[in-house]
Amino acid sequence: MTELDQALLTMRANPTDNASQSAYYDLILNATFLVPTLSPEQALEVAPEAAAAGEALPLVVEVDGNEYLMLFDTTERLHAWTKTDAPFVEVPGSMLASMSMPPLHWALNVDTEYSKSFLPDEIAWLREVVEKCEAAAEKG
């Protein structure tokens, strides 16, 4: 069990406790996630120019009309889900929050008891937190 798993369990057990929610989301923003990417062949089919430039294209899965960016906190969980040594990039949670725009959802640690879906409004709130922290840091 990871620190993130424990924080999720605490938050689930105390859904109205602001401190447990704050602790969980703080971990999300400060963690580094493994984001599965398309293979070079798949990337060439989907976005030839980006693939030719060597850009990694994240795997986005559609479920019930919603698009999910897949995120994992360990390589074991990533590989258990993909059932292969799938390519991936490591991305800080704060960067994911800054770059993810609606209607994108997140799916964290799919197929584990510690999975969590993030709705676009939840991601937008995380993005606002990052922006406020960056603005405060700039002011010094």
**How do strand 66-71 and strand 105-108 relate by DSSP bridges?**
parallel
Strand, helix or coil for residue 53: coil
- Average pLDDT over the chain, rounded to whole? 95
For the segment 63-88, what is each residue's pLDDT rounded down to a tens digit?
999 999 999 999 999 999 999 999 99
* Number of Cβ atoms within 10 Å of the Cβ of 47: 14
Contact, 108 vs 71, CB < 8 A? yes
Taking the C-alpha atoms of residue 75 and residue 69, their distance in angstroms, rounded to an integer, is 16
In this prediction, residue 51 has a pLDDT band, given cuts at 50, 70 and 90, of confident
Q: What is the dihedral of CA 97, 98, 104, 106, to 10 degrees?
A: -20
Range with the lowest mean pLDDT among 35-39, 53-57, 96-100? 53-57
State the CB neighbour count (10 A cutoff) for residue 139.
5
What stretches of 53-92 show up as alpha helix (H) in DSSP?
Answer: 75-82
